């Protein structure tokens, strides 16, 4: 079999609601993917909307805004220490978020934002705990 014959097109599920959309680019369960791979995903937030609002007891995440602007709101669930990080493509940064740090991404601009994320774990609903950052 030639290498070109090994190419696979993998259908993906785009989840949309009135806040924006969510798309997993890599789920970590793909054929031929190494076992240590987590998930890569994109999420879009509409103006005035917030995405996230949870923390992970186990998973680690890395966020990069690749379009638009957003404020990443963080809170340590044990110490309640907070941090707000402005994110945009113009001032490109990636933010590492350790476990037990609640996170919400707020679009406070008048245009959609797109955030690219990586997590070291496959999705487990038991590892996503709702949390409101006030």
What is the CATH classification number for the domain harbouring 82? Answer: 2.60.120.10
Tell me if 62 is assigned to some domain: yes
- Per residue in 7-40, pLDDT (tens digit) is 888 889 999 999 999 999 888 888 888 888 899 9
Tell me if 3 is assigned to some domain: no
Tell me if 7 is assigned to some domain: no
Predicted local confidence at residue 115, as pLDDT = 97
Tell me if 72 is assigned to some domain: yes
Q: H/E element holding 32? A: none
Tell me if 9 is assigned to some domain: no
Task: Report residues of the chain scoring pLDDT below 70.
Answer: none
pTM of the model: 0.86
Number of folded domains that form the chain: 1
Dist CA 66 CA 128 (whole Å)? 24
Tell me if 4 is assigned to some domain: no
Predicted local confidence at residue 5, as pLDDT = 87
Dist CA 118 CA 41 (whole Å)? 6
Give me the phi and psi of 126, to 5 degrees please. Answer: -70, -15
Predicted local confidence at residue 34, as pLDDT = 82
Tell me if 47 is assigned to some domain: yes
Predicted local confidence at residue 90, as pLDDT = 86
Within 10 angstroms of residue 99's Cβ, the number of other Cβ atoms is 15
């Amino acid at each position: 079999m030639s290498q070109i014959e090994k190419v696979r097109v993998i259908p993906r599920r785009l989840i949309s609601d009135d806040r924006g959309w969510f798309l997993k680019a890599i789920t970590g369960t793909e054929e031929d993917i190494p076992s240590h791979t987590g998930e890569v995903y994109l999420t879009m937030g509409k103006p005035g909307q917030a995405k996230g609002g949870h923390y992970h007891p186990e998973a680690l995440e890395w966020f990069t805004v690749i379009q638009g602007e957003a404020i990443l709101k963080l809170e340590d669930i044990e110490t309640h220490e907070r941090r707000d990080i402005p994110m945009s493509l113009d001032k490109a940064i990636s933010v590492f978020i350790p476990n037990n740090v609640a996170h919400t991404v707020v679009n406070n601009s008048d245009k959609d934002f797109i955030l690219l994320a990586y997590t070291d774990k496959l999705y487990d609903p038991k590892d996503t705990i709702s949390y409101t950052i006030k």
